[in-house]
Structure 1
Amino acid sequence: MEKVRILQIGDMQNGFTQEDGNLYVKGAQDIIAPANDFLRRVRDGVFDRTLIILDTHFAEEYSRTEEGKVFPVHCEYGTDDWELAIDVSGLPNKRYLTKNRFDMWSEKRSEDTPFNDPGRKAAHENLFHFVDNPYEPGERVAREEYVRAISPGRNLAGVEVTLFGVASDYCNRYAMEGWLERGASVTIVQDLTKGIEKETPQVLDEPQYRQYIGSRLRAVDSVGYLRELADSVVQNATGYS
């Protein structure tokens, strides 16, 4: 089975990664430059698709959400807090998914939220869909429909997801779990992640993930990952493995 290689970037937004962000994850600013360097090195021919996940909240509803009981409003749609802190230009087949919950695999809340601005209303309706442009989508596909189309069949056994971003113990965790449940393999670039209470090695040490370690789940650092890519290029060129 031919592999489909996906790069997923999770919540690398100003609200989490800049010290003046509304929900700064301590130390996250330190991964911006290494993440940009990594992205420069994987632009050409490494991945088939790029999925960019954006935490996306709306003042019109935030106070009524579970997050609103714990965290201040952050990554509000259309603000600088919501914007990406990294350069994703030149990455292949980019699609964006906006979410107003921790888990990218959740469903949009069903309650009716009043919006006076039609642009904000449209952005809210786009939650949990993959779009080609988070500002003015020309293409909009429901999340599960998009995922099924990546590798038609009963599961995603031929899909390899490489994931980084914030936060290790919240959104990254749930993203990883969803891909594993759907049959994909997951590699976490651990030095390009940052957690609120737990870092990636601590998360993966939890007992519920041990069944996947060594088969469909692993964590590597960016240097090791890039070295693997270089070795793979040499092997393909020489015909040796």
Structure 2
Amino acid sequence: MTDHDDAYGWNDVHALSGAYAIDALDDDERTRFAEHLLRCPDCRDEVSSLREAAAALAVQSAMPAPHVRDRVLSGIASIRPLPPLTDTEGAEVTLLAPRRHRRVPWSTLVLAAAVALLVAVGGVLWLRPSDERPAPLTATTTERVLAAEDATRVTQRFEDGSRATVVVSRSEGRAVILTEDMQLAPAGSDYQLWLVDADDRMEPAGLMPDDPDATMLLHGDASQATGIGVTVEPDGGSPQPTTTPIVMFDLEA
């Protein structure tokens, strides 16, 4: 667990992998766990395995026998996923390590099965005819960037203790920025993001939300970007920068 995870009261953040895999987290939890995946290859492997298990469960065309349903429901309160054992947490890296294949704890698979069963019984997951296939559980673009094997990140720390991190995946062609305790833009202004190319041209990449702790997917193709800048612009943004960047992320350092 990292200091950042602890700061949000996530005393056992790894245990959320099952809920994340079946999209059972709220928007804030989902965003924060996606950020955690950037630093935890074990959780990335676990989420991938659980999604495969959930997809397999979804294609079953028959309801379980009553005694099986009762047994699963009676045990769900006492079953939760075990946090993975890892010695890589908190490491400052610029290139994420390749995924490591490992065995998923049986209790985690039981939890996924139990939740899938509850969803089916509740009528949210409708059983489809055998000739149809359910829609795959797919990650968002932001999640794919954060979990990409070629993802690199550049962090800038500020004097007030806040920090901002840019994560870029060349294979995905996109970039994500994550801020922590960042001061909001002055009244009547916005923080605007820019993709910088090899000729120092700056293309608008979106406005930061008014949130000190934000995760945002930048607009535009970042596959060839050499840097990402942040400027203070009039409310609503500008087609071209009107101020000197307050921070520049060098993606080729």
TM-score of the aligned structures, taking structure 2 as reference length: 0.25
TM-score of the aligned structures, taking structure 1 as reference length: 0.26
Larger Rg: 2
